[in-house]
Amino acid sequence: MPCGLCLSKCHKPDCRPITANFKIDNEEKELWANLGGECNTKKLNSLVDFLEGKDEGWIERQHLRFLDRNKLRGRMEMSYTS
């Protein structure tokens, strides 16, 4: 059985369907993605925060976020918030 709104029959219990609407050359487009796994969701959350112009300090304080290496902020390895 496919997930609620998935376009494919992925059969993944943790599949999270995502839709994004955007404009290219004044033409509206819609993009669907099925993200399985918690780490992909965290990366998408961080991407949306970045596109909305949130600063890195704000992102670090949010739940379910991906944090890339940043020597200036003392992060030598990629990590995730819980």
Note the pLDDT tens digit of each residue in 42-52.
Answer: 888 898 898 88
What amino acid is encoded at 27 in this protein? E
d(CA 81, CA 67): 8
Pairing of strands 66-67, 27-36: unpaired
What pLDDT does residue 37 have? Answer: 72
Residue ranges per structural domain of the chain: 15-80
Asked if 15 and 3 touch (Cβ cutoff 8 Å), the reply is yes
Q: Could you tell me the pTM of the whole model? A: 0.59
